[in-house]
Structure 1
C-alpha cells in the first residue's frame, strides 16, 4: 500500500462536506495515509461587471470556506497529517485530476449548489464516473 498517497476530500462548506471530511479522516487513519482537504474556486460568469474590479476574491472565499469547514469538522484539533489545497478550476475537474495521485476520494453526495431531492449532485456524479481511484460518496448522517 502506498502510504504517501493521500485520501482526498472535496470541501465546499456544505454539511455533507463536513461529514466527508470526518469520514475521510477515518479512512486516512485506516490506510495510514495523509488527509488532503480540497476547495476549488472559479470566477463566476460575468454579468456586466468584472469581478476583479469590485473587490470580489473567489480564491479567498474558497480558503475561508475551507478553513471554516475544517473547524466545523475537527474543532481546534485538525489531523496531524492534514494538507489543504485551494485550487482554481471546476470542482469535478480539480478533484478528478487530484484523484490520479490519491488512495481514495471522498465527497458529499450533494454540495451547496445542489437541487434538493437529487440523489447525487453534479460533482459527486462526475467524480464517481471519472476518478482514477476509489470514490466514497457520503450521503449524510443516518442518525
Structure 2
C-alpha cells in the first residue's frame, strides 16, 4: 500500500437553475457528513448549427458556462465558498459529462429539473439519463 488516500468525492451537476442550486446545497451538506470533497460540474456545448451569435463572436459558450457556474456558486453559498468545493466546466452534453465525472465518485447529485437549451435539458432528461449512465449512486434533488 502506498499510503495515499483517495478522498471521498461527490459530483454535482450545475446549470444555474433553482434545482441545481438545491443540488449544490444538498451535495455540500452530504459532503460535510461524510468528510467528502464536492466537485461542481457545468457542461456546455455549442449548438449543432452555427448561429448568428456565434458568427458575430458574441461570447464564448465555455465562458458563458463558467459565468453561470460562478453565479450559481455565489447564489448557493454567498461570497465564502465551502472549503471542500471545487468547480469546473466541461465540454459535452450534460448527461455524458456527468457520467464521466461520476467515475470513482461516491455520489452524483443532480437537480430534478434544469434549464433547457445549451446549459441543460428539459424536465428530467438529464436526471433520468444520469440515473442510467452514472458510475455511482445518483441523488435527484427536488
Match of 2:91 in 1: 88
Judged with a 3 Å threshold, the aligned counterparts in structure 2 of structure 1 residues 35 and 52 are, in CA distance, closer, same or farther, namely farther
Alpha-carbon deviation of 1:44? 1.1
Match of 1:133 in 2: 136
Alpha-carbon deviation of 1:31? 1.1
Alpha-carbon deviation of 1:6? 1.4
**Structure 1 portions without partners, runs of 5+:** none
Judged with a 3 Å threshold, the aligned counterparts in structure 2 of structure 1 residues 48 and 36 are, in CA distance, closer, same or farther, namely closer
1:39 matched to 2:64: no
Provide the C-alpha distance between the structure 2 equivalents of 1:48 and 1:12, rounded to a whole number of angstroms.
21
Number of residue pairs matched by the alignment: 134
Provide the C-alpha distance between the structure 2 equivalents of 1:49 and 1:28, rounded to a whole number of angstroms.
42
Q: Moved runs in structure 1, 4+ residues, more than 4 A?
A: 47-50
Q: Does the CA-based 8 Å contact 2:8-2:35 persist in structure 1? A: no
Provide the C-alpha distance between the structure 2 equivalents of 1:34 and 1:48, rounded to a whole number of angstroms.
38
Describe how 1:25-36 pairs up with structure 2 within 5 A: 25-36=28-39
Judged with a 3 Å threshold, the aligned counterparts in structure 2 of structure 1 residues 135 and 53 are, in CA distance, closer, same or farther, namely same
TM-score normalised by structure 2 residue count: 0.87
Cα deviation, 1:55-110, whole Å, max 9, x if unaligned, reads 33100000000000000100012110111111101010000011112111000011
Describe how 1:1-143 pairs up with structure 2 within 5 A: 4-47=7-50, 49=52, 51=54, 53-113=56-116, 115=122, 118=123, 121-139=124-142
When structure 1 is superposed on structure 2, of 33-42 and 43-52 the one drifting more is 43-52
Q: Does the CA-based 8 Å contact 1:3-1:33 persist in structure 2? A: no
TM-score normalised by structure 1 residue count: 0.86
SS at match of 1:22: helix
